[in-house]
Amino acid sequence: MRVLFAYPNEVADPWLVALRLALPDIAFSVWNPSGPPVGADAALVWRPPKALFEQEPTLKVIFNLGAGVDALLATDIPAAIRIVRLEDAGMALQMAEYAAFALARLSRDFDFYEANQKHARWQPARGTPRSAWPVGVLGLGAIGRQVADTLAALGYDVRGWSRTPRQLEGIDTFAGAAQWPDFLARTRVLINVLPLTDETRDLIDHRCLSQLLPGAHVINVGRGETLVEEDLLSQMESGHVAGATLDVFRTEPLPADHPFWRDRRIYITPHVAARTLRIESIAQIVENLKRLLRGETLRGVVDRERGY
């Protein structure tokens, strides 16, 4: 079996060394866009150009080196190729940590102390109980579940929303369009961990935001296109939404003249909420390559119709 590594801006050696060590019978190599085809069966990819599929028509499986596949599905990938994504692979814990940080920053007034430090001002805040911060997690997949569980373990009142009904201990769960209004009506801190699909694009809009509890806060770690940015600004203008913690944006990098940069109620990070971790990712891909060699079902295969 021949497997290509097609992640252009990543140093390939540490990946190849670990992959060859784990699977010595597989021929791993780095994709060379100007070289001859190698007759690859599979490829590890991140945002691959169309040229990869034209050059390697024998490809049967691609392993996306991330959890989100929206950019990949927007590429014209031949229908016969199976797309496999990373499932958690160390990202869920990072995302849970990010969400806990963003929530604690508000609920424990760390944002207030940050501002006070600039003026050498020693002033304890009055504080609010955890019950004042009911959380709603959009998406209860590999990552969203851990976000919800972690915040519930910290004592927050957590509910979650998914496409199909899910049962999670300690989490109030909601599913589909029918339960959307009930979910929103009990949420003050809305955390988006949904994949970007036709159904989730522009989901967090004026209508959605206006149904949240007053003084709402939006944490977006899913994809930028799920949030209608102008609607967030207008809801903040009206005071219904108090602020946002945003890791993903409709345009990345976020343009220097974007109004988000100048709004102190918005906390910005540059799409780093959960990074691809090499060791964990390799372990998952090695397991799947072994399954492929044995002719077994692969884990994390993307349903192209569903879009995730």
Ligand X SMILES: NC(=O)c1ccc[n+]([C@@H]2O[C@H](COP(=O)([O-])OP(=O)(O)OC[C@H]3O[C@@H](n4cnc5c(N)ncnc54)[C@H](OP(=O)(O)O)[C@@H]3O)[C@@H](O)[C@H]2O)c1
Spot the catalytic one: 82, 250, 271, 304. 271
Tell me whether residue 223 is one of the annotated catalytic residues: yes
- 6, 65, 106, 273: which one contacts ligand X (CB under 6 A)? 273
Task: Check binding of 221 to ligand X (CB under 6 A).
Answer: yes
Interface mask toward ligand X for 79-118; x: CB under 6 A: ------------x---------------------------
Cα of 263 vs its chain's centroid, Å: 24
Q: Which of 123, 131, 164, 297 binds ligand X (CB under 6 A)?
A: 164
Residue 137 zone, left/alpha/beta (φ > 0; ψ -120 to 50; rest): beta
To ligand X, the closest distance from the beta carbon of 251 in angstroms equals: 15
- SS3 labels along 8-71: CCCCCHHHHHHHHHHCCCCEEEECCCCCCCCCCCEEEECCCCHHHHHHCCCCCEEEECCCCCHH
Tell whether residue 254 is a contact of ligand X (CB under 6 A).
no
Q: Which x/- pattern, by CB under 6 A, does the window 113-152 give for ligand X? A: --------------------------xxxxxx--------
Residues 22-51 that bind ligand X (CB under 6 A): none
Nearest to 138, CA basis, from 113, 166, 116: 166
Task: Give the contacts of 123 (CB within 8 A, at least 6 positions apart).
Answer: 116
Between 172 and 199, name the residue whose CB sits nearer to ligand X: 199
Min CB(209)–ligand X separation in Å: 17
Which of 6, 48, 52, 68: binder of ligand X (CB under 6 A)? 68
Q: Which of 105, 145, 217, 223 is catalytic?
A: 223
Enumerate long-range contacts of 25-28, CB under 8 Å, 24 or more apart.
Answer: 25/1, 26/1, 26/2, 26/289, 26/293, 27/1, 27/2, 27/3, 28/3, 28/4
Reply yes or no on whether 271 is catalytic: yes
Q: What is the DSSP letter of 158?
A: E
Which residues neighbour 230 within 8 Å (Cβ) at sequence distance 6 or greater?
Answer: none
Residue showing the smallest CB distance to ligand X in the complex? 141
Tell me the catalytic residues: 223, 271
Positions touching ligand X (CB under 6 A) are: 67-68, 91, 139-144, 161-164, 166, 193-197, 199-200, 221-223, 247-248, 271, 273-274, 308
